[in-house]
Amino acid sequence: MSLFTLSAPVADALANGTPVVALESTIITHGMPWPQNLEMARRVEDAVRAEGAVPATIAVLDGRLCVGLDDAQLEALAQARNVAKLSRADLAVCVAEGGTGATTVAATMIAAARAGIATFATGGIGGVHRGAESNFDISADLQELAQTPVTVVCAGAKAILDLPKTLEVLETLGVPVIAYGQDQLPAFWSRDAGLRAPLRMDTPGQIARAQAMRVALELPGGQLVANPIPAEAEIPREVLAPVVARATADAESHGIRGKQLTPYLLQRIFELTEGRSLDANIALVLNNARLGARIATEMSALPGN
């Protein structure tokens, strides 16, 4: 724990058994423009608190792995430039070199698990990018879900990805993929990806008990909860598909790939939808934060916690 800096609210919550929800920071630095990113970060933390849990936004600041940020740290991060985007491969390097970086899904899961936080709410996970059969572009998030014991609440894999291949890889890795309250897998901005979810659960208590049973059975890894975006905020799949195709073609024409690909696609889709994608993104993140807090509350009430 000498490598961690726990905020006072997070430290108190962990000591007292109060539910805690981990939150990533890449969505702040790479997912939304200023000042919407700061407004969104504050609203997400408030949504967690409104459900009776404590938010723990995670980032590396000047070489310290911070679990829980105060408002001044949030604002500074939201305005920072040239912030590293950290996953499993480069998290340790950033800490060792005293750098500043925002945590992706994979890095946030690592930090949350080390700090004793079992629930994490985010927007969407990474996955298998289109054309992966030739470029091998597959997010480290999928491997992390297979090995790190954290329940990740999202709105599904990002719609810019190859969703059938992402689902296949998750199945191969043994990751439970749970659609919340519906049979169809959601796809980030859309409630229906056109794919049937492997599992369905309808209550936070079911999800909490499933994660506890994984621990009891000594199964490695966590579980993925796909929480559909609220109906009033979604962009239907048939509307979004040509937009994603256009953004993907633009990225290919400019030679954009690797860690720069997702931020570019999100920005291009924002432009092509005239801001509608950003409104949907904020709505789904808030929705996931609320569900994550409810799951964390149910987990904290289980025997032994």
Please tell me the total number of residues recorded for the chain in this structure.
Answer: 305
| Gap between the Cα atoms of 59 and 25, Å rounded | 6
- Residue pair 18/12 in contact by the 8 Å Cβ criterion: yes
Element spanning 247, H or E: helix 237-253
Close Cβ partners of 263 (under 8 Å, ≥ 6 residues apart): 30, 31
Question: Catalytic pick from 51, 158, 234, 298?
Answer: 158
**Structure-derived torsion over alpha carbons of residues 152, 264, 136, 180, reported in degrees to the nearest 10:** 20
Cα–Cα separations (whole angstroms), residue 198 to 120, 144, 224, 225: 21, 19, 11, 11
3-state helix, strand, coil in the chain (%, to 5): 50, 15, 35
Active site residue 144: no
24 included as an active-site residue: yes
Tokens of 78: 């939201």
**3-class SS at 166?**
helix
Burial class (CB in 10 A: 0-12, 13-18, 19+), 256: middle
Pairing of β 84-86 and β 20-23 = unpaired
Q: Contact, 261 vs 129, CB < 8 A?
A: yes
Query: How far is Cα 115 from Cα 232, in angstroms, rounded to an integer?
Result: 36
Rounded to whole angstroms, the Cα distance separating 229 from 188 reads 7
Catalytic residue among 24, 45, 144, 298: 24
Alpha carbon distance 195, 188 (integer Å):
13
What amino acid positions are annotated as catalytic residues?
24, 158
